[in-house]
Structure 1
Amino acid sequence: MPKIDKFEDLEIWKIAVAIAVQVYILCDSEPLKSDWGMKDQIRRAACSMSDNIAEGFEYNNNPDFIRFLNYAKGSSGEFRNKLTILISAGKIEQSTFDDLYSKSLEFSGKTKTLIAYLKEFEANKKKK
């Protein structure tokens, strides 16, 4: 894997930002627009994915980055849980649910792959 100089170059960060932007736009429409509690919670979960990538990357060491990637992956799970509640309550369209859910799964899978890569890289460093 080539060296990444800034978190903005990471594909997972770009996916997470796209999810957060889509959620912000979704929350500007009814019925979420006036559901202050859920609107706040789903926005926070969506933003937390990219926030944790950015923060962890800036610590400039793999163990901290891995920890924050795990937080980001956890936020993806929280986000999908909120989507499930919203679709079950009839608050979002099926197509919106399907799109955001699949993007979140893609984010989670690619984040898991990056975590595994970084863990292996760190383990190999210790062997030398």
Structure 2
Amino acid sequence: MKSYKDLEVYVLAFQYAIEVHELTLKLPKYELYEQGSQLRRSSKSIKDNIVEGYGRRGYKQDFIKFLVYAHASLLECLSQLEMIEQLYELDVNDLISKYDALGAKIYSFKNYVEQHWKV
């Protein structure tokens, strides 16, 4: 792989962050800067941590640490989506399913890096 853009986990995280951004624009105006902002930040943090970890790929433990951060941000994003689902009548089931699958991919990729990554 020549770039972080070659990582499936990055490509999906980027795509889902766009979807989350668009979803948050459907929230009531008073939530754009509260719940909406928090959801946007957590979704974008997933891709950003993958990128930062990849940038430190020469240091295996740093790479792993940032993949753990990406997974933690994903869990925060899921929590925010679940809250929005309860508070507003927005269908977020598709996004929740996508993030669940992405979480499994990030976890598997982290395990791959732990076991097979050559520095």
- TM-score, normalised to structure 2, is 0.90
Aligned equivalents of 2:87, 2:37: Cα separation in 1: 17
Aligned equivalents of 1:108, 1:46: Cα separation in 2: 12
Aligned equivalents of 1:44, 1:67: Cα separation in 2: 19
Matches within 5 A, 1:29-48: 29-31=26-28, 33-35=29-31, 36-48=33-45
- TM-score, normalised to structure 1, is 0.84
1:110 aligns with 2:110: no
Shift of 1:63: 1.6
Aligned equivalents of 1:45, 1:58: Cα separation in 2: 20
Instruction: Give the structure 1 partner of residue 2 of structure 2.
Output: 5
Percent identical across equivalent pairs?
A: 30
Structure 1 counterpart of 2:21, from 20, 24, 28: 24
Structure 2 counterpart of 1:72, from 61, 65, 70: 70
Name stretches of at least 5 consecutive residues in structure 1 with no aligned partner: none
Shift of 1:110: 0.5
- Alignment: residue pair count: 116
Instruction: Give the structure 2 partner of residue 87 of structure 1.
Output: 85
